[in-house]
Amino acid sequence: MKVSIVQHTIRCDDLKWNLKHLDELLGEPSGAGLYVLTETFATGFMAEGATAQAGKQAEQVLAWMKYQAAWLHAAVAGSVAMVDELGQLRNRLYFVRPDGTFDFYDKRHLFAYAGENRDYVAGDRRVVVAWQGVRFLLQVCYDLRFPVFSRNRGDYDAMIYVANWPDKRRDVWQTLLKARAIENQCFVVGVNRVGSDQACNYVGDSVVIDAYGRTVAGCTSATEQVVTAELNMDELRRFREKFPVLDDADNFSA
């Protein structure tokens, strides 16, 4: 299947502008079966103070994702600051299909360094979504630093990481995305924003990596881009059969 990674800028807490801008950036369908946006793509990453509007915004953003999925004839993934049925703030990664159905994953590892753990509630489950013959593990930004939680148990073929990852830690982003692909014998789809906010600058480095650690496709500069890559499942299966690393993995659970 084909995946389009959407590397874009975000205006902090400007929902209307962000959604309209993404309408323009997505434009005509690329033929991909999945479009991946960034972490908190509609508002920007706000570790604190996002509670007031998060519930209403999340409903609007989810409706927009459903519309886009139908228009693009593809699934759309991206994370949203939202309030759950218990009134708790979540950093929720939605995976929305063209028929309007969806799955979601709540960010497990909250970025305490920026205070995300003070306002948000962490998720407590791994989520794998099957779509067009590929099983995707859903992950958000800081989750990238925790390999035990994302360890391949033979239950997925590709990992999705959506992020607001700052430029001063770009080497970590690039290194860990490649490590996750190699150690789990899977594709990794990493989508990061560009631009800046009150705290950080962002240079993107959005990329699709294969199980060998090779770049299949990626954004070549710190600019807004939509790049499409093909996930070759036949090649992945042949590699896993020829070199069955996962059969020798340590037996543990997270």
Q: Pick the catalytic residue from 66, 107, 116, 219.
A: 107
State both tokens at 238.
């042949």
With b for 16 or more beta-carbon neighbours within 10 A and e for fewer, the 178-201 pattern comes to: bebbbbbbbbbbbbbbbbebeebe
Nearest-5° Cα angle at 34, 215 to 53: 110
Indicate which residue of 12, 16, 20, 39 is catalytic.
39
- Bridge-based pairing state of the strands 34-36 and 2-7: parallel
24 is catalytic: no
How much of the chain is in helix, strand and coil states, percent to nearest 5? 30, 30, 40
Is residue 39 part of the annotated active site? The answer reads yes
Residue among 66, 141, 178, 219 flagged as catalytic: 141
Q: What single-letter DSSP state applies at residue 70? A: H
Q: What is the DSSP letter of 9?
A: B
Is 224 in the active site? no
Which of 3, 57, 11 lies closest to 164, judged by CA?
11
Nearest partner of 92 among 103, 102, 104, 101, judged by Cα: 104
Q: Which residues are catalytic?
A: 39, 107, 141
